[in-house]
Amino acid sequence: FLTIGSGSSTVADISGLANIRTIGESVLILNTNLSNLDGLQSVNSIGVGLTIQGNQALTDITSLASLVSLSGFIAVLDNNQLSNLIGLQNIDPNGITELNIRLNDVLTTCAIESICSYLGLPENSVNISSNADGCDNEEEVEAQCELAGNLCIDAVSIDEILGQELGVPQTTALFDNSMYNAVDTPTNGFDCFEANTEPITNSIWFQFTGDGNRYRITTGQCDATDYIEDGDTQLALYQR
């Protein structure tokens, strides 16, 4: 076991755990004063289950991104400042036996790769309730998971509009990004954006394979009837 915290813990720093890679039993992170989980960034395997509960200062669990193997449950309970589950996205869903996400007051984004895949398994055990809108129940999370391009791994291909006649604009289908979130948005690469101090919201991932030609890619109103004028739509390009 690895237990961090207790019934009335004052733990605020776990950087001394940075060399731990494998934990054979459960990991319990309970009632700490941690704002992040820096110190667990090397953990890639947990033998039984993971509980993150009652950590009222916790806003960031991205240090768990190395975790790929877990054989048991995931419980995220009563963490009142945690808004998303980025950090748990790389866990193999086939090792998860139970998913319990409840009582996280500002948790809006649960649609990460591991959870979306687990919800799609025919036999799963899920309790998602009493979180913020977007992650308040299983149906809301599934709706987010079904949005093509919401996650980088599920990026929408625009290859079909490349390689067409020179000088003739090509357009994709219309996209409504009002239901999208920014859970999978990188932390850099958009320094040139206007008002780049504001958070990225409602982002959609697209992908294409270069063919050696030059292209200008822009967004536009096309035939949309509810287009937001001056909607601050901007593009960032990343290479895989």
**pTM exceeds 0.95, yes or no:** no
User: Chain-centre distance of CA 117, in angstroms?
Assistant: 13
- From first to last of its 240 residues, what are the pLDDT tens digits of the chain? 899 998 767 899 999 999 999 999 999 999 999 999 999 999 999 999 999 999 999 999 999 999 999 999 999 999 999 999 989 999 999 999 999 999 999 999 898 889 999 999 998 999 999 999 989 999 999 988 888 788 777 788 899 889 888 889 888 888 888 778 776 777 777 777 765 556 677 888 899 999 999 888 888 777 777 776 666 677 888 887
Give pLDDT, residue 17: 95
Alpha-carbon gap, residue 80 to 104, rounded angstroms: 5
Tokens of 178: 């009002």
Q: Find the helix or strand (DSSP H, E) in which 76 lies.
A: strand 72-77
The CA–CA distances, whole Å, from 36 to 85, 99, 156, 205 equal 12, 21, 32, 27
Give the length of the chain: 240
Structure confidence at residue 199 (pLDDT): 67
Please report where in the chains the tokens 């999978």 appear, as a residue.
184
Position 147 scores a pLDDT of: 80
| Count of Cβ atoms closer than 10 Å to residue 209 Cβ | 9
Name the token pair of 229: 């004028």
The pLDDT of residue 230: 62
Contacts of 237 (CB under 8 A, 6+ apart): 189
Q: What is the pLDDT of residue 43?
A: 97
Cβ atoms within 10 Å, residue 21 = 10
**C-beta of residue 76 within 8 angstroms of C-beta of residue 109:** no
Looking at this protein, which amino acid is placed at residue 77? L
Max Cα distance, the chain (Å): 67
State residue 195's pLDDT score. Answer: 59
* Residue at token pair 């008002």: 195
Separation between Cα atoms, residue 217 and residue 209, nearest integer Å? 13
